[in-house]
Amino acid sequence: MIIYTRCMREHGVPMADPEVEGETVRQGRYDKEAVSSAVERAAEDACAQQRPPQETGPGIDFKNGLARQFAKCMRDHGVADYPDPDPNGQTRVGPEIGQDPQYRDARKACDAEMDAATRSFLASTPVPR
C-alpha cells in the first residue's frame, strides 16, 4: 500500500500515509478539492499496477452503495454528467466534471450526506471480536 501512496504522491496527489487500525490497514486519504480531477485521474492511471486489492468484508456492499448514492446526489445537486461508479465502487470522473459551476457546492453537500450515512452505518454495525 505504501508503494501506491508513494506513486500517487510522485504524480501530484498529496496522499496521506496509510492508516493502521488494529489489524486493518486503510488507504491514506487526500483533499480531493486540492487536486484537479485531471491530475487525480492521471495519477490513478499511472499507479494502477501498484494499487492494493479491493477491500472485502461486511462493509464493502455499503461502500459500493455509498458510491452509487454519492453519484446520484451529485446529479441531484446539478452536476448532470456525474458518472455512476463501476461494480467495484470506483468512479472515473473526467476533468470536465470539475469545471461544472455546480461542482463545488454539490461536492460539499454530498460529502456531508455521505458522512452522515457512514456514521449511521458504523453506529448500527456490530464490531467483530
Q: What percent of the chain has pLDDT over 90?
A: 33
pLDDT score for 60: 73
Mean pLDDT of the 85-91 span? 77
Whether 128 has a pLDDT exceeding 60, the answer reads no
H or E element: which one contains 21? strand 19-21
**pTM for the model:** 0.55
Pick the residue with more confidence: 43 or 89?
43
pLDDT band per the 50, 70, 90 thresholds, residue 93 = confident
pLDDT score for 121: 78
Where along the chain do its domains lie?
1-53, 56-129
CA distance 127 to 48: 32
Around Cβ 81, how many Cβ atoms within 10 Å?
Answer: 11
pLDDT score for 72: 95
Mean pLDDT of the 51-73 span? 79
